[in-house]
Amino acid sequence: MDFTLIVVLVIVLALIFDFTNGFHDTANAMATPIATGAMRPKVAVTVAAILNLIGAFLSTEVAKTISGGIIKEGDDGIQITPELIFAGLIGAIVWNLITWLRGLPSSSSHALFGGLIGAAIIGVGFQAIDVGVLTSKVILPALLAPLIAGSVAYTATKLAYAITRRDIGKPDGRGGFRYAQIFSSSLVALAHGTNDAQKTMGIITLTLIAGGYQAAGTGPETWVITTCALAIALGTYTGGWRIIRTMGRGLTQVKPAQGFAAETSTAATILASSHLGFALSTTQVASGSVIGSGLGRRGSTVRWGMAGKVALGWVLTLPASGIMGAFAAGLALIGPIGILLDAVIGTIVVVAIFWWSRRSVVSHHNAINDIDDAGRVVKIRKTPRKPPRRDRKKVAL
């Protein structure tokens, strides 16, 4: 196959992945402020999109080391080809869409790693994978990230309630936490932009270097940064409302003090880890924080059934996207026809998932308040008028 064509295909696919990454992760920053009413749903996704856009331009440090050494590369290692990157991206996109359809906040980075690892195993063999790095950079953080974020959020929630606690009947001013939520969730969105957009920049830069269009060891080009920033911002603006619903009320009922504590913990954990050169999944940190803050508020309940489903999604992400990446790589290795087949099957799956999602639409209208709408209709008129006489008769019958 013409090398230029495969490079173009990888770039297009990488941008599609970036888009799915954006809408998959809107919930990380914006589910709690939407749930507590700190921001209107549309305003929240717009703010998140703008901050993701800005965030993508702020830092490109991580972009150079996208595979982070998990797949051995370089002169003495195994060269990963654009065909394999293409196959890995298909695996990652399909898994991202499946988890979105199920409303599960799974890690986009794990989907990407899984897809690439699966493709590399089929294309090169198991020797392509550095198990030590895989354990220390992906598996261990996956286990520990929710635990760290959860305990931080638990403590922060306890603190927030303890400090603002007053005698019963006295106003505690906790509604004021909603103002703070606007800032804390924005910080999470900004952190997300600096982290996640770079993964796609890294993929595209890798492909350009592999194709000989860019000198090795150089950072991402300006047009790569711009297109990636736009793709992730557009994805964020589209909003993964299904996942927002899971994070905003599926795991626990979020109150403003709790939401603020959860977002601050998410932001602090992401910032601390990336500042100390340790990559934690934004999604797992955010979900862990929401559950931790639920445990920290007296009288609140965590829906463990849903939390279990979310955790299952995390465990499955790496192997599942790996299998999909491997399958796509198997086809891609046949040659141009295989790559064409990959593209066709990928498109069919994506269209099918979108078609399936239309059967029950979740949007900014009903992501959080579909049940509350019903409740509000009832609550608006506290003392309903007596029904007309003839209706009363009907009731009596």
Q: How far is the CB of 277 from other proteins (least distance, A)?
A: 8
* Minimum CB–partner distance for residue 286 and other proteins (Å): 13
x-or-dash string of contact with other proteins, 319-348, rule CB under 8 A: ------------------------------
Helices within 128-172 (DSSP H only)? 131-134, 140-164
Q: Is 159 in the site for other proteins (CB under 8 A)?
A: yes
Alpha helices in 221-335 (DSSP H): 222-238, 241-245, 256-275, 282-296, 304-332
328 contacts: CB under 8 Å, gap ≥ 6: 86, 87, 88, 90, 91, 115, 119, 342, 346
Please, what is the angle between helix 282-296 and helix 177-210, to 10°?
Answer: 160
Q: Whole-number minimum distance, CB 198 to other proteins, in Å?
A: 12
Please tell me the count of residues contacting other proteins according to CB under 8 A: 70
Site map 61..100 versus other proteins, x via CB under 8 A: x---------------------------------------
What character string, x for contact with other proteins (CB under 8 A) and - otherwise, covers 245-284? ---xx---xxxxx--xx--xx-xxx-xxxxxx-x-x----
Helix (H, G, I), strand (E, B), or coil: what is residue 365?
coil
Residue identified by tokens 């065909």 is 83
Contact between 87 and 328 (Cβ < 8 Å):
yes
Q: Which is nearer to other proteins, 176 or 335 (CB)?
A: 176
Q: Return the number of the residue (211 or 253) whose C-beta is nearest other proteins.
A: 253
Q: Which of 10, 153, 189, 243 binds other proteins (CB under 8 A)?
A: 153
Interatomic CA distance for residues 252 and 244, integer angstroms: 12
Which residues in the 350-389 window bind other proteins by CB under 8 A?
A: 368-369, 371-372, 376, 379-380
Which of 104, 112, 98, 95 shows the shortest CA–CA distance to 27?
104
Binding residue for other proteins, selected from 3, 40, 127, 315, defined by CB under 8 A: 40
CA distances from 12 to 5, 66, 207, 310 (A): 11, 17, 12, 30
Cβ count within 10 A of residue 19: 22
Binding site for other proteins (CB under 8 A): 35-37, 40-41, 55, 58-59, 61, 136, 140, 144, 148-149, 151-153, 155-156, 159-160, 163-164, 166, 170-180, 183-184, 187, 190-191, 194, 248-249, 253-257, 260-261, 264-265, 267-269, 271-276, 278, 280, 368-369, 371-372, 376, 379-380
